Amino acid sequence: MQAMDDDFNAPQALAALFDLSREINRAQEDGKDAEGAKAAFRELTTVLGLTMAEPAAKGAEAAPFIELLIATRKDLRAAKQYALADALRQRLADLGVVLEDTPEGTRWKYQRG
């Protein structure tokens, strides 16, 4: 709190949060109750605009659209429109989506980049 009162000294405030998180981890390792410290940590992080929420899985919002494109690609292949199916696969690859054709169907994943 002092760091924030000191002309919004964010680096010092982050250092204090880091120290607090280290102490919380030590207390938990020693079997001590750290719930009060955790609550304070959550409150202080929100003051800085930080969130401790788990990030959404990469591609979670895009998954239905990728599945739709995969189904369209399958239909194109069934209609022997291989050039269009390949173009769709390439466009997905350009966006970082790798398709893997298996006997069970097409699977997809994001390419690490």
How far apart are the C-alpha atoms of 50 and 68, rounded to whole Å? 35
The values of phi and psi at residue 110, to 5°, are -85, 140
In this structure, the answer to whether residues 39 and 15 fall within a common structural domain is yes
pTM of the model: 0.50
More confident position, 45 or 4: 45
Residue at 53 is within a domain: no
pLDDT at residue 64 tops 80: yes
- The whole-number pLDDT of residue 59 equals 63
In this structure, the answer to whether residues 36 and 67 fall within a common structural domain is no
How would residue 2 be classed by pLDDT, with cut points 50, 70 and 90? low
Tokens 């997809």 correspond to 108
Give how many domains the chain has, as a whole number.
2
Residue at 102 is within a domain: yes
Q: Are 62 and 95 within 8 A, CB to CB?
A: no
